[in-house]
């Protein structure tokens, strides 16, 4: 008699014991995963070696426990995963697919792209089995990768375990988080700039992490915000890579903590992919995820040559959302999570609130909501998706809840469920009602009269700028459309490049050759509500000689492009009369970094180089003092 037949017979015998008296399991409309640990207890860590087989006869076909293992049949490493979920009888498991020698191997499971790391989500506290599945679908429909999911039924050591969700683990590869692969030799130049995956979460033994230099949303929280290196892994990441991504995020936080984080030039707009943050916020606010921004919150960054801005995501771990939680007001369909004061150990980074205060970000969030609320996020679309999953899991749920009897026992509390329903239908009706109420609240708090500018990016390198003469460019080259934005402005940081919008034409006057950075802004009342991409003006030739001997009319100070800079930049200043000039650089808290000039200068225009090689990333201020005249400029050093 084969091992396989003996195993099935033992399973059917074990089904008769007291734990499984109400469960009869011989076949399923879902894939079946069978795990055999050969008598070993599955620990929290490390993974133990076991055997796993998967039966999947395809769509519409019945899967029988006696069928061959046709979707996987090999070794695995398996351990219990999760934090708070470890208190439950029905555990979650992390699985690593392995070959016969115990080496991890990349395989395709249930139609997913090949990988070696997987998650069996038991969905113990989410009795609908849909909160993660819905959230990941929303993210993918927005064009933001989230884990693929498949329902399955699981047998462990001959015992029926129940209905589970097979999920991909968040990993770097072309089918998941599609960023550059890094090696230990990627420590300089473009190579060290990406790719990275970082997680805001609790710290586990063996993690490599750093603690934010800035407080959480509420400084009374009992634990600081920690950023954990997810990729490269703790065992692989080298110090140069640790320092790079730490300094990058620290620069972002330094800017966000300053009074100038909304400045079009020195603000955060060039450091993060704002649209990815908007989509991440939208999903977390729509679901009202109790752990939003503070636990299982991922960020990633590709190489500078591949875009290079900090991205928010992928979304992960959404079983305590959609009104499930009985703490921190999680059940209430009203309120913003980005402003949330958590009374427990972990709170959100302060910048989650600061972003929501910025009219540029808030208007982008409102625009995105109004784009998707009637399609991807529509109640009818979500209801149809839920009904499909309810039908798909019907028979497996019946077995699952027969196995785990207390889940619908009103006398038994399942942390952290707000409600103690006695049946599945009431659970689903509550979920549907809550989503409807949350949608109504968001409609009332993300205005439909949002402000927006659809900016264009013309190639200004093809335009011949003549020194001292105004070059006319139609506004339509920069702005495709605008909504509720009465005023458009353009500005530079350089006294030698002056943009002026007159009617529907932008006039740009350049006084001398050089590289210049221009930004456009959209304003509504007193607020900047939209910031353009960078417009780079490079003037390398001229038909009119620049006369450096002309007398300036006033003292001026400017940090030439680039801003942010790494590690050097050119500072320009003008002197209208013979004066003693002092130029100093200060850090963000007002400490003097260096004195660049302390001497007498004749009237004229001057340039001086500033080298920040020995300084950490952050915001700096350059000031000029000439008698009673003072000027100051913000500079952003980004390494």
pLDDT tens for residues 11-21?
333 333 334 33
Asked whether the bond before 195 is cis by omega within 30 degrees of 0, the reply is yes
- 548 pLDDT above the threshold of 60: no
Instruction: For residues 444-465, give the mean pLDDT.
Output: 95
Look at 23-37, 220-234, 322-336 and tell me which has the smallest mean pLDDT: 220-234
pLDDT exceeding 90 applies to what percent of the chain? Answer: 75
Please, what is the Cα angle at 217 between 213 and 222, to 5 degrees? 75
Instruction: For residues 285-304, give the mean pLDDT.
Output: 97
pLDDT exceeding 70 applies to what percent of the chain? Answer: 93
User: Band of the pLDDT at 537, cuts 50, 70, 90?
Assistant: very high
pLDDT tens digits, one per residue of 385-397: 999 999 999 999 9
- What secondary structure does DSSP assign to 216-240, as a single string? BSSTT-SS--EEEEEES-TTT--HH
pLDDT tens digits, one per residue of 76-124: 999 999 888 788 899 999 999 999 999 999 999 999 999 999 999 999 9
Which domains does the chain show, CATH number per domain? 3-168+385-406 (no CATH), 189-377 (no CATH), 451-544 (2.60.40.1080), 547-639 (2.60.40.2550)
- 560 pLDDT above the threshold of 70: no
Give the whole-angstrom CA distance, residue 7 versus residue 35.
11
pLDDT tens digits, one per residue of 164-177: 999 999 999 999 99
pLDDT tens digits, one per residue of 308-355: 999 999 999 999 999 999 998 999 999 999 987 666 678 899 999 999
**91 vs 556, residue with greater confidence:** 91
Q: Which pLDDT score is estimated for 220?
A: 52
Averaged confidence pLDDT in the chain: 91
- 495 pLDDT above the threshold of 80: no
Q: Which pLDDT score is estimated for 561?
A: 60
């Amino acid at each position: 008699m084969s091992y396989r037949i003996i195993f099935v017979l033992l399973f059917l015998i074990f089904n008769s014991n007291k734990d499984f008296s109400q469960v009869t399991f011989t076949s399923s409309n879902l894939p079946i995963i069978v795990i055999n640990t050969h008598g070993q207890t599955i620990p929290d860590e490390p993974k133990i070696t076991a055997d796993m087989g998967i039966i999947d006869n395809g769509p519409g076909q019945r899967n029988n426990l006696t069928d061959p293992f046709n979707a996987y049949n090999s070794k695995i490493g398996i351990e219990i995963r999760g934090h708070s979920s470890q208190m439950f009888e029905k555990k979650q498991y992390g699985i690593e697919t392995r070959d016969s020698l115990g080496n991890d191997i990349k395989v395709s499971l249930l139609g997913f792209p090949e990988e070696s790391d997987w998650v069996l989500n038991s969905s113990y506290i989410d009795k609908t089995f849909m909160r993660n599945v819905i959230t990941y679908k929303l993210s993918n429909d927005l064009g933001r990768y989230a884990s693929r999911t498949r329902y399955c039924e699981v047998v462990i050591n001959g015992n029926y375990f129940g209905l589970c969700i097979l999920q991909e683990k968040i990993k770097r590869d072309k089918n998941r988080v599609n960023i550059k692969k890094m090696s230990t030799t990627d420590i300089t130049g473009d190579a060290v700039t990406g790719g990275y995956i970082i997680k805001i979460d609790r710290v586990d033994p063996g993690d490599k992490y750093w603690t934010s230099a800035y407080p959480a949303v509420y400084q009374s929280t009992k634990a600081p915000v920690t950023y954990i290196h997810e990729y490269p892994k703790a065992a692989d990441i080298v110090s140069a890579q640790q320092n790079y991504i730490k300094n990058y995020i620290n620069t972002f936080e330094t800017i966000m903590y300053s009074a100038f984080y909304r400045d079009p030039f020195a603000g955060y707009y060039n450091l993060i992919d704002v649209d990815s943050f908007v989509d991440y916020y939208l999903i977390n606010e729509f679901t009202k995820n109790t752990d939003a921004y503070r636990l299982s919150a991922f960020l990633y960054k590709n190489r500078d040559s591949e875009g290079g801005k900090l991205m928010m995501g992928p979304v992960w771990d959404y079983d305590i959302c959609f009104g499930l939680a009985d703490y921190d007001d999680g059940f209430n369909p009203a309120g913003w999570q980005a402003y949330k004061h958590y009374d427990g150990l972990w709170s959100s980074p302060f910048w989650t609130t600061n972003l929501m205060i910025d009219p540029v970000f808030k208007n982008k969030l409102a625009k995105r909501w109004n784009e998707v609320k009637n399609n991807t996020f529509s109640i009818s679309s979500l209801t149809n998706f839920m009904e499909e999953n309810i039908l798909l899991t019907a028979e497996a749920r019946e077995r699952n809840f027969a196995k785990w009897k207390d889940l619908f026992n009103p006398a038994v509390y399942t942390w952290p469920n707000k409600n103690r329903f006695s049946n599945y239908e009431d659970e689903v009706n509550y979920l549907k009602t809550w989503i409807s109420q949350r949608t109504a609240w968001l409609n009332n708090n993300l205005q439909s009269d949002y402000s927006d500018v659809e900016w264009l990016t013309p190639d200004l390198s093809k335009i011949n700028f003549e020194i001292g003469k105004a070059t006319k460019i139609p506004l339509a080259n920069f702005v495709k459309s605008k909504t509720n934005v009465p005023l458009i402005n353009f500005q530079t940081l350089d006294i030698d490049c002056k943009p002026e919008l007159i009617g529907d034409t932008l006039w740009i006057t350049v006084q001398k050759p050089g590289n210049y950075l221009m930004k456009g802004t959209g304003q509504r009342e007193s607020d900047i509500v939209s910031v353009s991409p960078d417009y780079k003006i490079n003037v390398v030739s001229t038909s009119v000689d620049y006369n450096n001997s002309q007398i300036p009319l006033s003292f001026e100070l400017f940090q030439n492009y680039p801003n942010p800079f790494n590690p050097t930049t050119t500072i320009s200043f003008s002197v209208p009369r013979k004066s003693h000039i002092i130029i100093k650089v200060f850090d963000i808290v007002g400490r003097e970094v260096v004195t660049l000039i302390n001497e007498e200068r004749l009237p004229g225009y001057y340039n001086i180089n500033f080298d920040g090689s020995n300084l950490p990333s952050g915001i700096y201020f350059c000031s000029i003092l000439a008698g009673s005249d003072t000027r100051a400029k913000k500079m952003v050093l980004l390494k």
